Amino acid sequence: MTNIILCGGSGTRLWPISRTLMPKQFVKLFNNKSLFQLTVERNSSSCKKQFVVSNSEQYFLALDQLQELNKTTDKYLLEPVGRNTAPAIALACMTLSPDEIVLVTPSDHLIKNEEAYANVVQRAKELAADGFLVTFGIAPNFAETGFGYIESKGEDVVSFKEKPDYETAMSYLSAGNYYWNSGMFCFKAGVFLDELQQYSPDIYDACMVALKNADTNGMTRIKHDDMLAIPEDSIDYAVMENSSRVKVVKSE
């Protein structure tokens, strides 16, 4: 399994600690380690490889911080401009074997209960091996209005919900089958690309062109104009909300 680590954000909500050239995921906030480094360490037990998706400025930060952990990877995808998560994940998956299972994670999560985390990742891997697109739903403990929600029936996803108002969030909390959308995913690269081609063919086609024209000398570097030509969309809108192959693993 490969851990696709999404690193491109600037972390503007944590300004001035987080800045464009030193965003929060690379700031050493916890025991002299960054959230990026903690992400790598946390997922190394289940993932043999790291695949870093970043911009050019943050590439060197990721490289240096991996070396500090005595880890190396030859898998880097550099985006000249961000086009949201669907293109970033698609471009990474297009460079992998269709049967490779990927664990897609942000680089800025803090997860303290790593045993519980390992258990839900293992369950997600099992579902991904069976051809499902897996998302992780976090059990809500208060009526948060800043997150999207996943409505579930067991491990089946019923629907994705936008960020609610307070009254709606309270009703989700009372219902007991709504979960915060964590922004983490697990699936076979080929399954995701098949669903992307079906539901967002414009993104799929533009990513194929961008990858064909990319500089692949040592890493995958997408050209500026090709990146701009890719429609901007999230994985949720582009694929997850449309696909019938989606499962949710309930998480703490």
- pLDDT of 124-162, one tens digit each? 999 999 999 999 999 999 999 999 999 999 999 999 999
Rounded CA separation 186/129 (Å): 9
| Predicted confidence band of residue 204 (pLDDT cuts 50, 70, 90) | very high
Please report the pLDDT score of residue 11 as a whole number. Answer: 47
Q: What letter represents residue 62's amino acid?
A: A
Which range is least confidently modeled, 37-41, 58-62, 84-88, 243-247?
58-62
Query: Is there a contact between 106 and 53 (Cβ–Cβ < 8 Å)?
Result: no
- Mean pLDDT of all residues in 33-41: 95
Residue 21 has pLDDT above 80, yes or no: no
- Mean pLDDT of all residues in 184-207: 98
Angstrom CA distances, 131 to 142, 237, 247, 250, stand at: 33, 20, 10, 18
Q: Which domains does the chain have, with CATH numbers?
A: 2-251 (3.90.550.10)
Angstrom CA distances, 246 to 142, 151, 155, 225, stand at: 25, 12, 9, 33
Rounded CA separation 188/178 (Å): 25
Task: Establish how many alpha carbons lie within 13 A of residue 134's alpha carbon, considering only the half-sphere containing its beta carbon.
Answer: 27
Rounded CA separation 144/124 (Å): 25
Whether the predicted model's global pTM rises above the 0.95 cut: no
Query: Is there a contact between 61 and 10 (Cβ–Cβ < 8 Å)?
Result: no
Asked if the peptide bond before residue 16 counts as cis, ω within 30 degrees of 0, the response is yes
Average per-residue pLDDT in the chain?
A: 93
| 3 state SS of 160 | strand
- Mean pLDDT of all residues in 212-225: 94
Residue 24, token pair as written in the block: 């929060």
Residue 12 has pLDDT above 60, yes or no: no
Q: Where are the alpha helices (DSSP H) in 148-188?
A: 166-175
Q: Where are the alpha helices (DSSP H) in the chain?
A: 35-44, 56-68, 85-94, 114-129, 166-175, 189-199, 201-212, 224-228, 235
| 3 state SS of 219 | coil
Query: Is there a contact between 88 and 8 (Cβ–Cβ < 8 Å)?
Result: yes
Rounded CA separation 85/45 (Å): 24
Query: Is there a contact between 232 and 202 (Cβ–Cβ < 8 Å)?
Result: no
